[in-house]
Structure 1
Amino acid sequence: MDFSTVRWEEIGKASIETLQILGASGLFTIIIGLPLGVLLFMTARSASIQSQVVYTILSFIVNILRSVPFIILIVALIPFTRSLVGTATGVLGVIPPLVIAAAPYFARLVETTLREVDRGVIEAAQAMGASTGQIVRRVLLPEALPGLLAGTTITIVTLVSYTAMAGMVGGGGLGTLAINYGYFRYQYEIMIISVVFMIILVQVLQMAGDRLVKWFTRK
């Protein structure tokens, strides 16, 4: 392998695209997944029939989206993605399927984390007359913050691997670069560099997430 022929400007461009994809998809995943996870938790613990129906429906949809392999999901969503953002390829085209795949996954992590909050704290807030919204904002989320940060880290790291799979359909970023040059053109040095960059990205994200979890756990 000859690394002297590597076009580093292409590597740099693909790296920036990967960061853009991660930033946008991660943001929308949290915006959608966090309320969805809270709703799953609140309806699961409610005794009312309406809440149980809502939980059953939401849980069913979440389970379906989580069970579909991402490479199949991204292809199946091409018409929807194209109608939503005008393209099914590149940085913009890969964000909607990434969010649809990751948001249910994150929602389950949120639900699981909230279940670990001491029920005594919740009951104490209810006894003091706190509303449901106040309980969520002032009790559940603060108490579960370290776990939520850990779940966010896991989700973002998972999105890194999803971006690589999106390269099979021209999703942009390091995944597309590795597929186009490393696989189709047999330029394995580019594939190796892309993989190394993604490994470094995952390590940085995991270390940052772990530090945040430790910081807020101490507080």
Structure 2
Amino acid sequence: MAKYFDVHPDNPQPRSIGQAVALLRDGGLIAYPTDTCYALGCALDNREGIERVRQIRKLDDRHHFTLMCRDFAQLGQFAHVGNAVFRAVKAATPGPYTFVLTATREVPRRLLHPKKKTVGVRIPDHPVTQALLAELGEPMLSSTLRMPGDDEPMTGGWDIKELLDHAVDAVIDAGECGTAQTTVVDFSEDEAVVLRRGAGDPARFE
């Protein structure tokens, strides 16, 4: 049975955040709110967590997970960012964008695009997500919480608790989330290529 944390969307209770992060460090899988929609998250080195996400969402091995980073300094540990790309990404973060960048050696091989050696990274603009990442002290592996056959992600914490009570270890409820996913921008070749239009305005990269 998943633990249920009802937290304030702007000032999440430190005790609840600490308990959720303790679960992450112990190999747990959580459902949590972001600045776009609810997501599933686990620790970076949690292989079992990755498989659990794949089972919940019915994903194959080609699915690309996102590294949810606290800030630009943390992002820079896991992705190579040239000067031109630095300015473009810095101006759009934190925010509802996922950036595909060339990965550094810090990224586990299983998380890389098999041919391009790239990784998707993002810096969310949500107090709860930021609190989780600050307490964890490292990026969180993340995937949109969209169930098989659904067109949009799940939006309510209690609905997630009822549906995934035995599939995740915790649900963090900070109220209703949106249904838009991030805008995905590929910077792996230095020139910006918008791969998916979402919550973030793609015009700045076109």
TM range (shorter): under 0.3
Q: Which has the higher helix share?
A: 1
Q: Which has the higher contact order (CA 8 A, sep 6+)?
A: 2
Q: Larger Rg: 1 or 2? A: 1
Q: Which has the higher strand share?
A: 2
TM-score, scaled to structure 2 = 0.27
